[in-house]
Amino acid sequence: MVQRTISLEIGIKQELLNTILQYNQICNQHIKKTFELNTKSKSKLHSVLYLEIRNQYPLFPSALIQCARDNAIEMLK
């Protein structure tokens, strides 16, 4: 079997870029709060930060907020 590589340029849409940037900011908020509270508890971080982040980013999908929290905790383990 012969494999070939094809290079394609895919334009980045502004909406996707905004989502990535907001996701990173939300991860950073969780990391900062993890150090402040000295905890890696998902439920504790959720209870402290979720409403604040929801108010800050009202159109950001809630599932991604939870993924950002989970990924932030995993990065610190």
Identify whether the C-beta of residue 31 lies closer than 8 Å to the C-beta of residue 76: yes
Tell me the average pLDDT across 49-53. 96
Q: Please count the structural domains in the chain.
A: 1
**11 located within any domain:** no
**3 located within any domain:** no
- Mean pLDDT score of the chain: 93
**65 located within any domain:** yes
The residues, ordered by sequence, that sit 6+ positions from 20 with a Cβ below 8 Å of its Cβ are: none
**44 located within any domain:** yes
Render pLDDT for 3-33 as a digit per residue (tens, 0 to 9).
888 887 777 788 888 999 999 999 999 999 9
**18 located within any domain:** no
**4 located within any domain:** no
Identify whether the C-beta of residue 28 lies closer than 8 Å to the C-beta of residue 69: no
Identify whether the C-beta of residue 43 lies closer than 8 Å to the C-beta of residue 55: no
What does the pLDDT read at residue 9? 78
Closest CA to 68 of 37, 36, 33, 38: 33
Domain span at residue 46 reads 26-76
What does the pLDDT read at residue 60? 96
Q: What is the pTM of this model?
A: 0.82
Q: Is the pLDDT of residue 1 over 80?
A: no
